[in-house]
Structure 1
Amino acid sequence: MPPKKKEKAKKKTELSKTGEPAFRICARFLKAYEQACAQASCILAPAVKMALKQAIEDEKFLTKIVLEPAIVNSADDPRVLLEPMLTAVRKERYNYIKALYIWEVPLTNEEITSLALLLEKSIYDIKTLEMIDNMIEVYGMRRLSQALPASPSILSLALDFNEFGDDGCKYLCDGLYGNKTLLSLSLNYCGLSARSSGCLGRIIAHTAVRDVFLDGNDFGCAGTEKLIIALVDKAETEIREKKILEEQKLAAEEAARLAEEKAKSQRFEMGAATPIPPAEPESKEKKKKKKGKKKGKKAPPEPPEPGAWLRKLHLADNGIDAYEQGFDDLQLASCVKALRRLIASSECLQELDLEDNLIGDMGGAELLEAMTQRKESNGLPNIKLRTTHRMQGDTLKQLIKLGAGAIKKKKKGKGKKKK
């Protein structure tokens, strides 16, 4: 008899809490989105339309929405807008979105306000929010930041290529102050200067944020030093406390060893050494009980404690050089010294990107000493370090050798030259 053909595995239909299948909910959401776009005289975002149709076919909820502009032939052609998609989300109460990406779609203040109102609703559990190159200005940043205290679900926030400047950054920091859930913050090419370093430094030091991306801004030497000083102080304090604890542990072990040797010698001298009774073997019944225990489900990891626990810091192309204000070698030396202290003592640091900053041979030598001290003196794991190639070749080779590999950069969004 010919072998039987394997039956195709049946699709596992996802259901809502009320038992309604996912494909029906996604179909209604798509219809509502089409109607909202028709009323607004705009077109559907191609990626959203395609993803919704695929979700309907797969009988699963669409959890990732990518809003990108469509290819148009002229400026008069209808374009992609954010408001119709938000209208459909509100109409169908579609609360299955976990990641919202809005890339290169210009946003008005009204649309940003509409998005902020959506984020303030507790039923929407958006964990990743990326708003890249949307022409967000200070007012839009102010309104968006007001929604952040009411949006505790957001774990990752990216606002790259929106030049809202230092004033917009201040509003953002006000909205994030006291936040206990945000883990990643990206503000690449946002027109920030040393004025923003103080408020960003406080956010980094007093929230759970552990990955910070600030490429393409203009912090300079003074701003960079101010940004990381709280991290440096925390890291050095931890190293000192760690060494004290290790010394206390060794002292306690040595004291216990000496006390045991003294007790043995006393028993031997008195001739009263008593044999230590052998430990009772574990019964078979106890062993069976242990084997019979089933492992329960792992509880979800708790959010990290707020504090200066920075894991990734990207500061490429930030004017960290001696030309910040004329020619100031002392300012550069002070900044590089702070970076050296951070590298040498921060146990949680994993990545540091200093590409396109002219720190020169002096800065390269300081970084090399920091990497060596980190590994040999403090016993900390290597970090991924990216720096300028404009230094002595031997120094650069040693830095690469001591590093923990290459730093992966985001693919979305291309670098823009600062004005």
Structure 2
Amino acid sequence: MPPKKKKTGKGKAAKKKRDAPVDQNKTTCNRFLKAYIKHCNDQSVLSCAAILQECRRCIEEDQLINKFIVEEPVKFGADGERERPASVPPADDINPGISLKPVLKALEEIQYPGLVQIHVWHFPMREEVDSSAACLALYLESNMGINVKVLELKDNNISLWAMNRISRALPVCALCVLVLDHNWMPDSLLSSLCNGLTGNRVLQCLSLNYCMMTETAGLILGPTIVTTLIRDLSLNGNVLGCEGTQDLMSPLLHLCTAGEPLPPLAKILLQDNSIDAKGKGGTFGPVICMRAFRRLITSNPNFEEIDFEHNHIGDAAGREILHAMQQRKEVGYPSIRMTVTHRMNPVTFAAILDLSTTYGKKARGKKKKAKK
């Protein structure tokens, strides 16, 4: 009987090799959690409950966190005004509440891999509060920040200084989605943002919903959408009006008229933007504005969705949209999802809906005959 071969331990080594990524994920998340808590204590700020919860979940499930949400707790009183919970004292020089800085410091300290999304909600990003904006810009400019594709700064009361610093990082970072909803965006901040986006060939989605932008924003933002690769532009809840909307689309209309190459802009969301007869143009304002869109719709095959919901454009302007949809169909361009208010002639409204695509709408085909 031949002697038994001694075990070489290769099986155990292979098992350890297979388990290594799992152990590495747990170790990385644990290291980040410890570093984050340490930096929060060093800076005398509160730790974010959402981050702590997500870290513990990922440790239990052997996963790396690819999305960080840094959120200040928000509560609304009976009068509709925002309040801070009793557990969260007001931010000041002694106790600044929650900060983005400890998150970024911890990420840099342990060289955290795989971060794709950063979401910052409901706390101020102003130089007099802390230097979160500068830390964020430095992180986006670093070799580690090149992996970040989505940045959402929501309701942060961004100062001009903070916007200038973040804008300087935009030409060198790899962001594909930038969301700045619910931040007051006067012309000075919007100009700073657009300067940072000049020549950017990476960003595909820009959201500036409920930023209190007025008609002058159209002149500032218009050139940006034709010199970048922005595909989705969301401007819901502002006050562009008819004049501002025309100024916004004027550079794109010029390219269409001149027969020049068109940018990839496919989605324009303009809900609740005071595109109605109450502006300077009176009752002719919406008609002139929709006539400009008619020329765009019939000459730009890239469009996929346009949203005018909650803008009382009226019957005449509605007919301009209807004729545009009909002409687009005649020239053979793909149909688009068009959303308008129902406050117009019901026949016109129904015809627009009939020509518009809807999400989840399936092409109708002939029924197959059952085999005998």
Structure 2 equivalent of residue 362 of structure 1: 316
For residues 333-386 of structure 1, what are the alpha-carbon distances to aligned partners after superposition, in whole Å with 9 as ceiling and x for unaligned? 2211011112222211111011121210011111111111111x2111211111
1:64 aligns with 2:18: no
In structure 2, C-alpha distance between the alignment counterparts of 1:61 and 1:176, rounded to whole Å: 31
Paired residues of 1:11 and 1:58 also in contact (CA < 8 A): no
Structure 2: gaps of 5 or more residues: 1-15, 75-84, 361-372
Which of 384, 388, 392 in structure 1 is aligned with 2:337? 384
Name the TM-score, length of structure 1 as normaliser: 0.72
Distance 1:61 1:13, change over 3 A: farther
Paired residues of 1:224 and 1:335 also in contact (CA < 8 A): yes
In structure 2, C-alpha distance between the alignment counterparts of 1:335 and 1:69, rounded to whole Å: 40
Structure 1: gaps of 5 or more residues: 1-9, 242-305, 408-419
Asked which structure has the greater CA Rg, the reply is 1
In structure 2, C-alpha distance between the alignment counterparts of 1:115 and 1:351, rounded to whole Å: 33
In structure 1, C-alpha distance between the alignment counterparts of 2:238 and 2:168, rounded to whole Å: 24
Counterpart of 2:294, as a letter, is: R
In structure 2, C-alpha distance between the alignment counterparts of 1:12 and 1:185, rounded to whole Å: 41
Structure 2 equivalent of residue 174 of structure 1: 195
Distance 1:14 1:53, change over 3 A: farther
Identity rate of aligned residues, in percent? 35
Structure 2 equivalent of residue 44 of structure 1: 47
Structure 2 equivalent of residue 224 of structure 1: 245
Paired residues of 2:230 and 2:265 also in contact (CA < 8 A): yes
Paired residues of 2:123 and 2:156 also in contact (CA < 8 A): yes
Give 1:60 shift.
2.5
Paired residues of 2:126 and 2:161 also in contact (CA < 8 A): no
Counterpart of 1:380, as a letter, is: Y
In structure 2, C-alpha distance between the alignment counterparts of 1:164 and 1:122, rounded to whole Å: 30
Residue aligned with 2:119, SS: strand
Counterpart of 2:269, as a letter, is: H
Structure 2 equivalent of residue 194 of structure 1: 215
Residue aligned with 2:170, SS: helix
Aligned residues, how many? 326
Structure 2 equivalent of residue 162 of structure 1: 183
Counterpart of 1:86, as a letter, is: L
Paired residues of 2:157 and 2:183 also in contact (CA < 8 A): yes
Name the TM-score, length of structure 2 as normaliser: 0.81
For residues 278-298 of structure 1, what are the alpha-carbon distances to aligned partners after superposition, in whole Å with 9 as ceiling and x for unaligned? xxxxxxxxxxxxxxxxxxxxx
1:213 aligns with 2:234: yes
Residue aligned with 1:21, SS: helix
Structure 2 equivalent of residue 129 of structure 1: 151
Paired residues of 1:374 and 1:380 also in contact (CA < 8 A): yes
In structure 2, C-alpha distance between the alignment counterparts of 1:230 and 1:23, rounded to whole Å: 51
Counterpart of 2:70, as a letter, is: L
Residue aligned with 2:69, SS: strand
Structure 2 equivalent of residue 310 of structure 1: 265
In structure 1, C-alpha distance between the alignment counterparts of 2:20 and 2:348, rounded to whole Å: 56
Paired residues of 2:287 and 2:320 also in contact (CA < 8 A): no
Paired residues of 1:116 and 1:144 also in contact (CA < 8 A): yes
